[in-house]
Amino acid sequence: MKRDFMKVVGLCNKLFTVAIFFLLILSGCKKADTIVSPASEDEVFARKARQADLKLMVDNLVSPIGIVAVPDNSGRMVVIDQIGRLWMLNASGEKLATPFIDLTSRMVTLNPNFDERGLLGLAFHPDYKNNGRFFVYYSSPPRAGGPTPTTTWNNLARFSEFKVSADMNIADMGSEKILLEIDDPQSNHNGGTLVFGEDGYLYISIGDGGGANDTPAGHVTDWYTTNAGGNGQDITQNLWGSILRIDVNSGSPYGIPSDNPFVGKPGLDEIYAYGFRNPYRMSFDMSGSGKLFVGDAGQLLYEEVDVVVKGGNYGWNVKEGTHCFNAANSLSPFADCPSVDPETGAMLIDPVIEMNNAQNPAGGIVTLTVIGGNVYRGNSIPGLMGKYVFGSFSKSSAPQGEIFFAQPAGPGLWPFQELSLKSYT
């Protein structure tokens, strides 16, 4: 089974730095002179895009997987180190000596060479400047029991609220309020993004629970009997394989937005959209269209980016990308598969971006997994204004991460192009 994302240690230490490219964290760069699925842009635009480069922000971290701006007009940022620490960068970009928070003692023990568990997500409350509230997603030790009488849980996915202490650079460790805990059957496919929408609700991306094909223990039976499993298509028995949407300003421990798609209908009320394999990184185009973009990791053949709508079904494990998935032989897609979820009547929504995985026999990108990015709304690189900028994860210890961009468009697959960085051409 492929390794989807994060390495905790390994490679050389110099690779584990935080290089920020529109808040996109990459595992490395390669010389990028090949265009993939060329966009319909002229060479003038391409030259403008190649003004982009990476900027080193901070190093001497173990496994940095994200960076989040503190929404208090202080100019500070927080780096997510997967091993369990959040590091504060001051307005000058300097890492403070003491972690903003250290959750290592509350987490499951991570494997030393590779793990997809850990401290995975962080979101500050929109009114953080006044209330000091922030939210994290981390992997805690498993509870007793398991998905079957002969298997145990692997870990406990925990979503918690904390508050900042009297020291604005240190969290109050005693303030933890656990919002939600989900028994996790396998160690991988955990998703990991927490982000607030313009509606003030907290959105959470979580994967299908792990393992291959969405079929191991802990993956329930769904409506699609051709493929065994799976959590991605289920909306009644667990929350795995979904984007969740909750109200952290009401309820105990949280409230449910009244317009969530399954309120008053069959389905768990927290679910906003479903049919995902491993939606590791997602983001809103906050100053533009307001759309929610999700990078969803495929299995062996196809990687995808989705534009998520309320109640949408994004196909896994009926489909991998735009193709009919075959759980019995994941390298040999079916010729046909359903296009509608018969239980909800929802159409299976295809991605807006599809790329061949490095393991695809037809050839493709040199990397294993798509890493969802952001729509660029800055002024420094005119050629990228309004483009969706995203990345990929190296398939080996060699730094081979790639950066891509696409022009958001209408229905159908969007063409995308690899971004050549100024220092790497």
Per-residue pLDDT tens digits for 251-262? 999 999 999 999
Q: How confident is the model at residue 45 (pLDDT cuts 50, 70, 90)?
A: low
| Mean per-residue pLDDT of the chain | 88
Confirm if 18 and 58 have CB atoms less than 8 A apart: yes
Confirm if 41 and 47 have CB atoms less than 8 A apart: no
Confirm if 419 and 22 have CB atoms less than 8 A apart: no
CA torsion angle 394 399 400 404 (round to 10)? 90
Closest CA to 416 of 313, 303, 331, 325: 303
* Residue reference for tokens 């420094």: 380
Tokens at residue 371, please? 């890493």
Q: How far is CA 395 from CA 153, 322, 372, in A?
A: 28, 23, 17
Q: How confident is the model at residue 364 (pLDDT cuts 50, 70, 90)?
A: confident
- Between 147 and 23, name the one with better pLDDT: 147
Residue 66 to residue 103: CA distance in whole angstroms: 16
Per-residue pLDDT tens digits for 48-68? 656 678 888 899 999 999 999
pLDDT at 116 over 50: yes
Confirm if 91 and 74 have CB atoms less than 8 A apart: yes
Q: CB within 8 A of 215, min separation 6: which ones?
A: 227, 228, 229, 230, 317, 327
Indicate left, alpha or beta for 321 from its phi (over 0: left) and psi (-120 to 50: alpha): left
State mean pLDDT over 151-159: 98
* Residue reference for tokens 């969740």: 244
- Between 358 and 309, name the one with better pLDDT: 309
Buried b (16+ CB within 10 A) or exposed e, 67-77: bbebbeeeebb
Q: How confident is the model at residue 47 (pLDDT cuts 50, 70, 90)?
A: low
Give percent above pLDDT 70 in the chain. 87
Q: How confident is the model at residue 28 (pLDDT cuts 50, 70, 90)?
A: very low
| pTM, two decimal places | 0.90
Percent helix, percent strand, percent coil in the chain, to nearest 5: 5, 30, 65
The CA angle 409-411-414, to the nearest 5 degrees, is: 50
